[in-house]
Amino acid sequence: MTTHKYYNIHALMPRIFKDQKLIFLFSTFLGAVAAGIFFSSLNNFLVDVYDMSADQRGVLETVREMPGMLLIVLLAPFSAVKEGKILFGATLVIALGIMGTASLSPDILTVTAWLFVWSVGAHMVMTIRESFCVALSEPGTRGRLFGIVRSLRSLGTILGATCIWLGMGILGFGYEKLYWTAALIALLSSLIILLIKEKRHTGLKRKRFVFKKKYSLFYLLAVLFGVRKQIFIVFGPWVLIRIFDQDAPAMARLILVSSVAGLFLKPYFGKLIDTLGERTVLIADSLILLMICACYGLAETTLPQPLILPCLFTCFILDDSLFSLRSAHITYLSKIVESEDELTASISTSYSIEHVVSMIAPIIAGLVWIRFGYPWVFFMSALVAGLMFLASAKLPRKASF
């Protein structure tokens, strides 16, 4: 008997390229590194290169968020396409958008167009990624997988923000070189996705559109989260940059610290969703958000000067970690969805609804900033936090599902 001199290539591959969950997580991590380089410096990029005002930034954000509103339409033609292939194509679009922003944006109009392209890919990835989180986990443990994904995204952001901090602050690199690095990392992320095999609903033909009364509370939570998210993503950093003169390396350091905190907090928050239930964690989220809004709005006028920035930095870090509780919306949906072929379409519907208000909120907030001052942007957000509390209280208790 002779020994076969050929080896099973698949058997020799590292485990990370055979375990579907690990492939998915590795691709997610690479995508997060690219996003960390690109998005952590975007506000400074817009100020440094285009000298944008708050109202201009609000308008750009509305355009950038438009693909989120159109998500239900963007994904509908691909209802018969396996979700892994959609994830691959959308990640390529992200890389293209970053390249265009880096090298083909001589003015505000063109940079807005390229950010729109990037946003198309980013919003499609966001939806399909959450669908895969459900497909690759079992009921009762989905919050944990969402937490791991959020944690890995924080780790990716740490590396991305470090690239900005070291690249710009120490090595003297410009935005273009760093953004091309981000685009190449996004391209690598897309290639890793090709190794994913479909599981459960990700390989099935899906419904193009889903809009049901049964999911109305899920949609309402999406609307309120859309307002909250967009105000804090845009105007939280804008306060630090415009009012307190924090430059790109300083913001990168803050995002780095925030991501390190998220690395530990987000898996814990994911476990809390599984153990305490969606109702409890979302009620707590709304109450903490009320305190964050008060801090942003009142810190400059009520705190001693040495405490203002540490307080605002703390709010930024805490709020960034709390964004991960958006996963509770999807775990709630996975418990009430009538059939698996409705899941992805329902997620995209919620994102489309969420982004209708996400497009409007930055414009209103920008005008409020110009007319009344930045604290009123966060007083407006406090009202949204109160509505989030009322909506979350309507969720069934954990034992009632």
Residue 38 pLDDT greater than 90, yes or no: yes
User: For the ranges 11-15, 125-129, 163-167, 314-318, which has the lowest average pLDDT?
Assistant: 11-15
Among 244, 332, 230, 220, residue whose Cα is nearest residue 281: 332
Task: For tokens 């939570």, name the residue.
Answer: 221
Residue 122 pLDDT greater than 90, yes or no: yes
Q: Among 120-134, 204-218, 339-353, name the most confident range.
A: 120-134
> Residues 368, 376: contact at Cβ < 8 Å?
yes
Domains of the chain with bracketed CATH = 12-201+212-400 (1.20.1250.20)
Half-sphere exposure of 304 (CA within 13 A, CB side): 2
CA pseudo-torsion sign 124, 248, 185, 318: negative
Average confidence (pLDDT) over 318-331: 87
Average confidence (pLDDT) over 300-316: 90
Q: Could you tell me the pTM of the whole model?
A: 0.74
334's tokens: 């996975």
Structure confidence at residue 14 as a pLDDT band (50, 70, 90): low
DSSP one-letter string for 330-384: HHHHHHH-SSGGGHHHHHHHHHHHHHHHHHHHHHHHHHHHHHH-THHHHHHHHHH
pLDDT in tens, 357-388: 877 887 888 888 888 988 998 998 899 999 99
The rounded distance, in Å, linking the Cα atoms of 323 and 387 is 17
pLDDT at residue 241, as a whole number: 87
- CA angle in degrees (0–180, nearest 5) for 328-125-27: 95
Proportion of the chain above pLDDT 70, given as a percent: 92
pLDDT in tens, 224-269: 988 888 788 878 888 888 888 888 778 878 887 887 888 888 888 8
Residue 95 pLDDT greater than 90, yes or no: yes
Residue ranges of alpha helices (H) inside 104-214 are 108-135, 142-169, 175-193
The rounded distance, in Å, linking the Cα atoms of 279 and 396 is 7
